[in-house]
Amino acid sequence: MLPADPITLRTFDGGCRTRTTVMRPDRYRQLGQLELPLTVRGGGYSYSAASFAADRPVLDLRAFNRVLRFAPEAGEVEVEAGLTLGALLQFLTPRGFWCPVIPGYPAITVGGCIAADVHGKSHSLHGNFRKWTKQIALAGLGPGLTFCSREQNAELFELSCGGLGLTGPIVRATLRIVPLLGGQVSTERTPVQSVQQGYELLRSAETNAEFAYSWHRPWCVGDRSFGPGFVFRGATVPGTPLPRPEEFAYRPLAPDASDRRLPASLFGGPGNLGTRAAYVVAAAMQANRRMMTDSLFASLFPFVAQAHYFHAFGRRGLQEVQVLVPHVSACSFLDELEALCRETRPPAAVIALKLFHGESFALRYDGEGLSIAIDMARHPAADRFLDRFDDLCRDYRPRLNLLKDSRLGRALFEHCYPEAEDFRRALRRNGLLGRYGSTLAARLGLA
């Protein structure tokens, strides 16, 4: 048995806190001495409690963070899954390669990206992380590592990609990489008056932008529009100098974002007016700034420079919901969301839209449609909004991002994920049900 240290872990959104123990193996032979049940942890940045539980120790695999093989001619890199995305890009991009599915924070591990099957800002073009994962190696299934790919142990591979770590520790991964055309990213920022207008613009931009997303202020401007904001469309600039490794230096946020949180939230309550005023002033100052050119790092990870965004939610933290609504019902969903916001006035900070072009399977947050994320402060008004938002989800049955919502209950999950029972059965068939779990998995009835 590996030695374990007591630790208090908290979700990134601050919604769940647990006292548990953590084991930090740093040798391969230690992976053969694991005693189950366990929770597998990567960077620990999930908004819901996917990487810890009170009733089982946590296995922290961040010491397995080495680059094992770099084969540019084959378009592959093999790494240990504890490697962070920031470190992966720090290695790949100066050599003229990258993996273009990059979620918003560089301290997330490759294993976490696979287990959560994350998406970046370019889902409609590049898909989810699974699309770029060729092979993984799982520990805990036999005496050594168990290699899984689309050809070998295919069921385990499919279950592990987006499987929330319930198939065991992912120790190694072979990723597909492509040439990086330049080290600068040019972004066009177009103001829009409403979320509906943002959605229309995103759809029209889908074919000619490398990435596209929109951010909206969740305000109702009179009776006319809801969610003024900006649509961002951009691409790497071919021929610009490739990034230097030192461009990837940053000071990571604590996994629960608690290191410098303000005493109270600036969203909702008395701070809200000041925040709105600051928004208006900032927007007015940047009104003419339509084209922006940034370094790749700053474009991929805007929250590294804007960590104060998370601190502004105060000590109680934030709440996020993210849903994927099929295009056929996206417009009416946005209209109902507008009506709900007008009625309940949630202390929301931002609404973010992205287009998805994929296929839903098992627990993955993937499919075809519009992804809508809403960040809000922990506040009674947010609870009122979220209760009604759940009703909306019951009606529309969108895909829910299980890793973003730390209060999502089993009933709504099973209502929106009819595949949940198939996933449980597959875990049982492979002898994995209950071996690995988390507070999130217990809440959703998956462990």
Partner 1 sequence: MSPPASPPLAKTQTALIVGSTAGLGRALAEHFATQGWDLVITGRDDRDLYALASDLRLRAGVGVWPLTLDLNQPGCSWSLSATLGQRTAIQAVLLPAGAVDPADEMAADETLAAGLVRGNFLGLAEVVRQALPHLDTNGATIVGFGSIAACRGRSRNVYYGAAKRALAAYFEALRHSLAPRLVRVQYYVLGYIDTQLAAGQPLRLPKGDPHELAKLVRRSLHRDLGTRYFPYWWSPLCFALRILPWPLFQRLKF
Contact residues toward partner 1 (CB under 8 A) are 2-5, 23-29, 63, 66-70, 80, 91
Question: Looking at beta carbons only, is 159 or 171 nearer to partner 1?
Answer: 171
If the CB atoms of residues 2 and 433 are measured against partner 1, the closer one turns out to be 2
CB of 81 to partner 1, least distance (A): 12
Return the C-alpha torsion angle 352, 356, 361, 364, nearest 10. Answer: -30
Residue 156, helix vs strand vs coil: helix
The residue type of 38 is L
Q: Of 137 and 180, which has the nearer Cβ to partner 1? A: 137
At residue 285, φ and ψ (nearest 5 deg) are -65, -30
Look up residue 148 and give its two tokens: 């899984």
Please name the amino acid found at residue 131: K
Give the residue with the Cβ less far from partner 1, 69 or 315: 69
CB of 66 to partner 1, least distance (A): 4
- Closest CB 77 distance from partner 1, rounded Å: 9
Q: Which amino acid is at 328?
A: V
Nearer to partner 1, 62 or 233 (CB): 62
Element (H, E) at 251: none
d(Cα 352, Cα 214) in Å, to the nearest integer?
A: 6
Report the nearest approach of partner 1 to the CB of residue 40 (Å): 18
Residue nearer to partner 1 on the CB measure, 171 or 205: 171
Tokens of 131: 């699309």
Q: CA-to-CA distance for 26 and 61, rounded, in angstroms?
A: 8
| Least distance (Å) between residue 184 CB and partner 1 | 24
Which DSSP state fits 58?
A: E
Min dist. Cβ of residue 97 to partner 1 (A):
12
Phi/psi at 112 (5° precision): -65, -40
Q: Among 446, 232, 438, 258, which Cα is nearest to 354's?
A: 232
